Structure 1
């Protein structure tokens, strides 16, 4: 997560989406260390960026 965000800065939908994405990453991680997680990590970063913009009041 971004350093200046807390879990309360996310909407309920974003929280659920983050939990689901982290669960998917964990499941993929069980397959082995060579599995590519970059697509899921990119989705998490996008959600964090949206929450940070909303917190700072910028678009």
Structure 2
């Protein structure tokens, strides 16, 4: 199981403190919507989380090229 976590860590870029807060906020909103009902649309929040992670991935690639 530890290898699975390491594999996930390699795919997920390091997040800044602000990005962690943003993702946490969006996940909390998704949880709140989930409590409201199972059929509630959450695609907009999932897209926002994906955009935050994509920006972090682009930043990590840019920083890797500098080294």
Aligned counterpart in structure 2 of residue 5 of structure 1, from 2, 12, 29: 12
CA–CA distance in 2 between the matches of 1:17 and 1:45? 11
More helix by share: 2
Q: Report the aligned-residue RMSD.
A: 1.5
Larger Cα Rg: Structure 1 or Structure 2?
Answer: 2
TM-score (norm 1): 0.84
Aligned counterpart in structure 1 of residue 55 of structure 2, from 20, 26, 50: 50
Task: Count how many residue pairs are aligned between Structure 1 and Structure 2.
Answer: 54
* Structure 2: gaps (5+ residues): 1-7
* Structure 1: gaps (5+ residues): none
